[in-house]
Amino acid sequence: MNQIGAENQTSITIDDAMSESNELDSCYNCFQHFVANGFSKIDESSFEGDIIKTSFFSSLSRNPRISYRTKIVAIHKNSNTSQCWKIRAHSFAVYTKAVADTRRGDANIKYAWYGASKNEICETVMHGFSWRRHSISVSPAKHGLDSVLCSEVDGSGVGHLLLCRVILGKQEVAREDSRDQFHPSSMDFDSAVDDISSPTRYIIWNTHLNCNILPCYILSFEAPLCLSGLTEPKTIKPKTWITFGTLISILSPFLDHSQRASLEEQYTNYLEKKITRPQMIQRVRAIAGNQLLSAVVKLYTNKIN
């Protein structure tokens, strides 16, 4: 792990690494918000509930530790009949036809997961996706783990994903320098992917956000400890600092090859500003696990003290 061998100056406090989410609202209040905005709870054992549940757990299968310890709390279906949502659904249908007419009859519609914080999910349910960003990155249905890692669990250990229908049309590979790009590179394309043959990310540009993505379901899941945070933040002194590079270097000998490779990938994404600091902290938790991270951080703290 040559990149992690070099000390990085960006540090976090031990308290940051060990702390739980500051979200204090209950799941009940969150579900009330979903219902108030036109999403109705469906039974997991129903036909559509079973399909969503099966798809979700199948998408987590490449990380059995997370899959086995994750529990679906609720599934809410978009049943909104407000004028605003009718307009959004109509826009989606219009764009579906327009893209199909342009792309030889195939609008290339897929289901995709979108993970975010509870507040962002609630804002999206109420107002649609934010226009302040250049693009939205969603995960193909079989790559739900990536969206789980992008979500932020609340104080009760529950995270939320949107399951959306997405108009992909003709896709192009996103350029490495596409961070500031907010529209397709030409009229020949409608969306972008990270890999044409085996995509793990669909990228919908700012110009298409609320026309080419239609939220259909909200899946709320109870995250394992490695996602929802550690349980003993008060035992760690908040002013002890550790760099991400040092933390990952200490963790590496205790991880298998795939876990080390995953950490290196996430660290690279962080250095390139593709993910935020809270997302980096959460992904270290998810990959390393609660017990190992807790033990390593305590060991480091005792050593420097």
Number of alpha carbons in the 13 Å side-chain half-sphere of residue 301? 20
Instruction: Please tell me the least confidently modeled range out of 103-117, 208-222, 239-253.
Output: 239-253
State whether the Cα torsion 40-46-48-54 is positive or negative.
positive
Nearby residues of 172 by Cβ (< 8 Å), 6 or more positions away: 184, 185, 188, 189, 191, 192, 193
Q: How confident is the model at residue 30 (pLDDT cuts 50, 70, 90)?
A: confident
Supply 78's token pair.
Answer: 């978009």
Q: What pLDDT is stored for residue 214 in this prediction?
A: 92
Q: How confident is the model at residue 27 (pLDDT cuts 50, 70, 90)?
A: low
Q: Is residue 76 scored above 90 in pLDDT?
A: yes
pLDDT for 204-218, tens place per residue? Answer: 888 878 789 999 999
Q: Which of 283, 281, 224 lies closest to 72, judged by CA?
A: 224
Q: Is residue 241 scored above 80 in pLDDT?
A: no
Q: How confident is the model at residue 165 (pLDDT cuts 50, 70, 90)?
A: very high
Instruction: Give residue 276's region: left, alpha or beta (phi > 0; psi -120 to 50).
Output: beta
Residue identified by tokens 């933040």 is 233
Instruction: Domains for the chain: give ranges and CATH numbers.
Output: 31-222 (3.90.228.10), 244-304 (no CATH)
CA distances for 117 relative to 154, 162, 220, angstroms: 8, 11, 11
Q: What is the rounded distance in angstroms from the CA atom of residue 282 to the CA atom of residue 263?
A: 11
pLDDT for 170-195, tens place per residue? Answer: 988 886 555 667 787 788 888 888 88
Are the C-beta atoms of residues 65 and 226 closer than 8 Å to each other?
Answer: yes
pTM of the model: 0.65
Q: What pLDDT is stored for residue 21 in this prediction?
A: 35
The single-letter DSSP state of residue 60 is T
